[in-house]
Structure 1
C-alpha cells in the first residue's frame, strides 16, 4: 500500500513556473511564481504576494529544485527570513520567460512601436499617416530588431530617423498658436521662416498678434524659448497635425487593395516600394474623392447621434462604437458638452497629456 503513494520516478517538479532571478554578491537566487502573475503584481493589480508565489522558498536553482543555503542568504541579504527575501527578489529580480512568451512580448512591443510611428509621422506627398501595415513593412525592410530593455517611444524615434533614409516619410508637424506683442511681429516672422513653419492664420487683438501655424517637432523647444523671450506664450493645438480623413483612407486601402509581397531588402526592392507608395497614395486620393461624391449622392443609413456622424457602411458604423472618438464624446455628453469631430477629439485627448510627451520631440 505504501508503494502506491509514491510519486512517479519520472516526475519533474517546478518546471511549469515563472522564475524570478536575482544575482547578489556573486550568488544566484530564484523564486518560483505563477505565470502571468508577476507583471500583475509589479503593476499594482495584484496585491497579495501569496497569489503570486508558488511557495515562499528561495532557491539557487528552481528547475533542479536546489534550495539556497542559509549562510548564503545571510551573506547576501543580511537575513534568512524567506518572506522578506522573496519580496526583495520580486521587486528587483529579472523575470525569466520561455521562448514563446518572449516572442509574444517582442511581437507586442514591435506592434506598439509601429503604432507610435504611425501616430507621429505622415506621408509628405499626401500629409496623411501611413497605415500601420506599411509602417511594419518599413521596419522589416530596415531590419529593425526590438530591444526589450528600451522604452518603445525612444525606439520609435530612432526608427523614424532610420526609415527617413530610405522612404518618403516625415514627422507630423505640431499645430501651435503663438501670441506675441504686435511690435515683435517682424522678429517672429523671421524665425518662423527659418524654421520652415506653415502659417495658417493671423489675427490682431489688443495690441497682440495671434498666429496659428504648423511647425516641425524638433523646432518646438527653440520656438517656445524664443516666444517667451518676446513676452509671449505658446499654446499647443495639436501634437500631430495631418490632413483630415486619414482613417477612412487607411482602412479602405487595407480592405480593398491587397499588398504585394516584398522582396529582400536590397536597393531595388526599396526603390520599388517607394514607387508603390506613390502609386497607392494617388489611387487612395482618387478613391476618397469618388467615395465623397457617392456618399453625398446617397442618404446615409447609419447615424451616431452622440458624435453627430453618419456612416454608409454598416461595419464601419459598428466599429465606430468601439473607437476612442465615440467613447470621448460619450464622456462629453454626460457633462452636457457638444460633440467633437474625430480631428477635434484627437486634439482634445492629446492636449491633456502633451506635457508628458514633450521630451520626445527633440531629435
Structure 2
C-alpha cells in the first residue's frame, strides 16, 4: 500500500478542462526530467479524473478533445510532463539542489570569461549566482535556465556562452584510437592523415570544456598529443 504522504495529485488544465491523476512525486519528477522511469512506477491508479477529491472521472470526449486519444498511458504521460506536480518541502529542496548543480555544470562547461577566453571556476559561478540573487525553477529545463542565468550574472562578472575550435595533432601510435573517440569529444570539423600516420583534426567544443577535453586527449595518448586553441567564438 502506498503511504498517503508518498502520493500527490498531478494536475493539467487546458481548454477549460481539468485532468488529475495520482502519482508518486519523486518518480514523476524523474520522468519529467528525462530519466528512464516506468510509468507503472509513477502512477498510483489507472484512472484519469476530472476531480479526484470528488471522485469525478474525466470523460472520454474531454480526453479526446485535449489529448487526441483516450489511451491511459499517453494521457498520463502528458499530464506528468506538462502539468503541475506538488512537492513536499524536502522533495522540493532535493530537486532544487540537483537542478542547481546541473545548471552550474552546464554554465561551467559552456561559458568563458570573454576578457581572457578562459573557463570560469565553478566556485566563481556559484558566488556570482548568489550575488545576483538567482532563483532556480525546478520545473524548467537546465539549458533554458542556464542561458537566462548567464544573462543575470553577466551583471556581476564577465561571462558569455561560447564555442572553442581546437586543433589536435596525434602521434601515429594513438591516432586510430583518438580518431574513434573524436565524436565523443566534440563536433568534428576536419580530419587529415599525414604520410606517417599522424592524425590532424579540428573539433568544436563548449568553450568551458577546454581543459576537460585536453585531459581526455592526454589520457588517450599518454601525453603524446599537441593541442592548440584555434578560435573561441
TM-score in terms of structure 2 length: 0.58
* Contiguous gaps of at least 5 residues in structure 1: 1-12, 178-233, 246-306, 308-324, 333-337, 348-360
**1-structure distance, mates of 2:27, 2:62:** 26
Question: Which residue is 1:223 aligned to?
Answer: none
In the aligned structure 1, how far is the partner of 2:87 from the partner of 2:140? Answer: 20
172 and 31 in structure 1: CA distance in 2 versus 1, 3 angstrom threshold:
closer
- CA separation of 1:88 and 1:134: change in aligned 2, threshold 3 A: same
Residue matched to 2:196: none
- Tell me: CA distance 1:154–1:27, structure 2 relative to 1, closer, same or farther (3 Å): closer
Tell me the residue number matched to 1:45: 36
Match status 1:92 vs 2:81: no
Partner of 1:22: helix, strand, or coil? strand
Q: Could you tell me how far 1:73 is from its partner in structure 2?
A: 1.0
Shift of 1:158: 3.1
1:240 maps to which residue?
207
1:28 is aligned to 18
Report the structure number with the largest CA radius of gyration. Answer: 1
Counterpart among 19, 24, 44 of residue 54 in structure 1: 44
Task: Quote the offset at 1:96 in angstroms.
Answer: 1.1
Of Structure 1 and Structure 2, the greater strand share is in 2
Structure having greater relative contact order (Cα 8 Å, sep ≥ 6): 2
* Partners of 1:113 and 1:343 in 2: CA distance: 31
> Hey, what does 2:61 align to over in structure 1?
75
Matches for 1:9-20 after TM superposition, within 5 Å: 14-20=4-10
The 8 Å contact of residues 120 and 208 in structure 2, kept in 1 or not, is answered as no
Q: Which residue does 1:156 correspond to in 2?
A: 146
Q: Work out which of the residue numbers 128, 134, 146 in structure 1 matches 2:124.
A: 134
- Map 1:133-282 → 2, pairs under 5 A: 133-171=123-161, 174-175=164-165, 235-240=202-207
In the aligned structure 2, how far is the partner of 1:121 from the partner of 1:342? 25
CA RMSD after TM alignment: 4.3
User: In structure 1, how many angstroms separate the alpha carbons of the residues matched to 2:5 and 2:77?
Assistant: 22
Aligned-partner Cα distance in 2 for 1:52–1:74: 22
Distance 1:40 1:238, change over 3 A: closer
